[in-house]
């Protein structure tokens, strides 16, 4: 059977097709509304998700440095809840940023108990959104719910570029052998523009520092000992003209990390770690 390697691990395409008919009954987050059908040439959710959402002044933390409040952050929760039921849409090729093509999107991985990466990514992104809003940061999500398809990886990058984001963080979880654990942060290399040359590696280092300060261990199975991974095959990073990184929060096949990812408390801890990294970067 053919397999697809995504940032969320290796997923069997044939298996995805087999479960597609039941994907509509998959694990969706409570309160999510259905996505609008994508226009021709687009795979994604409501366009409102790609617009800046100004932070409410009453939610701001008055102790935060004023400079952080002028920032725009794009959060990109990887995959989507209906991707597995729409393989014909997410498997079409799109530009990868290095003169080649790659798959529009993928289904992601899951815990052994069946909790989907797409749901974890979205829940963590919403927590980070609320935390950043408390610091006066304008936050943009690349998708507005967990009941849609896509968007494609090139469109996710375009959302960050269009909003002239100070930072873009794509939120994922890995799926590999049960013994592996820890987080790592990916950036595009070799660099294709100035943002990738200087700002993105700095964002990656600050993200590692912030997440480590929150008590999360760096990966023991991939990337450098510092938790950094330079890759040239991720279109969302390659196509970014603003500072962008991808965070693999941990391994959904590791029993301890899977348990943490499956609880609200655990997801808030991952969100707090990502928020720490972002604030460290923005507050320079």
Catalytic residues: 248
Distance CA 260, CA 263 (A): 6
Backbone torsion region of residue 97, taken as left when φ is above 0, otherwise alpha when ψ lies between -120 and 50, otherwise beta: left
Is-contact 283 207, C-beta < 8 A? no
Q: Using alpha carbons, list the distances in angstroms from residue 3 to 13, 57, 187.
A: 6, 47, 24
Q: Using alpha carbons, list the distances in angstroms from residue 126 to 130, 141, 196, 251.
A: 6, 9, 26, 20
86: β partners: none
The total number of residues shown for the chain amounts to 284
174: β partners: 251
Is-contact 83 149, C-beta < 8 A? yes
């Amino acid at each position: 059977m053919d397999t697809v390697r995504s940032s969320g691990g290796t997923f069997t395409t044939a298996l995805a097709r087999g479960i597609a008919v039941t994907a509509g009954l998959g694990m969706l987050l409570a309160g999510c509304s259905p996505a609008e059908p994508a226009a021709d040439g687009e795979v994604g959710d409501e366009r409102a998700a790609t617009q800046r959402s100004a932070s409410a002044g009453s939610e701001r933390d008055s102790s935060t440095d004023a400079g952080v409040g002028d920032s725009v952050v794009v959060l990109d929760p990887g995959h989507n809840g209906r991707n597995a039921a729409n393989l014909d849409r997410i498997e079409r090729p799109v530009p990868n940023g290095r003169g080649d093509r790659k798959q529009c999107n993928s289904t992601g991985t899951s815990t052994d108990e069946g909790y989907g990466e797409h749901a974890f990514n979205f829940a963590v992104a919403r927590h980070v959104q609320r935390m950043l809003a408390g610091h006066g940061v304008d936050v943009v999500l690349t998708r507005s719910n967990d009941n849609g398809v896509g968007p494609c990886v090139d469109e996710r990058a375009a959302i960050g570029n269009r909003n002239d984001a100070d930072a873009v963080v794509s939120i994922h979880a890995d799926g590999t052998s049960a013994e592996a654990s820890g987080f790592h942060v990916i950036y595009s290399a070799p660099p294709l523009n100035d943002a990738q040359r200087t700002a993105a590696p700095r964002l990656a280092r600050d993200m590692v520092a912030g997440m480590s300060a929150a008590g999360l261990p760096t990966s023991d199975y991939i990337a450098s000992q510092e938790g950094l991974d330079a890759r040239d095959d991720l279109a969302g990073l390659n196509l970014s003209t603003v500072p962008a990184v991808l965070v693999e929060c941990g391994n959904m096949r590791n029993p301890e990390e899977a348990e943490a990812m499956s609880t609200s408390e655990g997801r808030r801890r991952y969100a707090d770690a990502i928020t720490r990294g972002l604030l460290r970067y923005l507050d320079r």
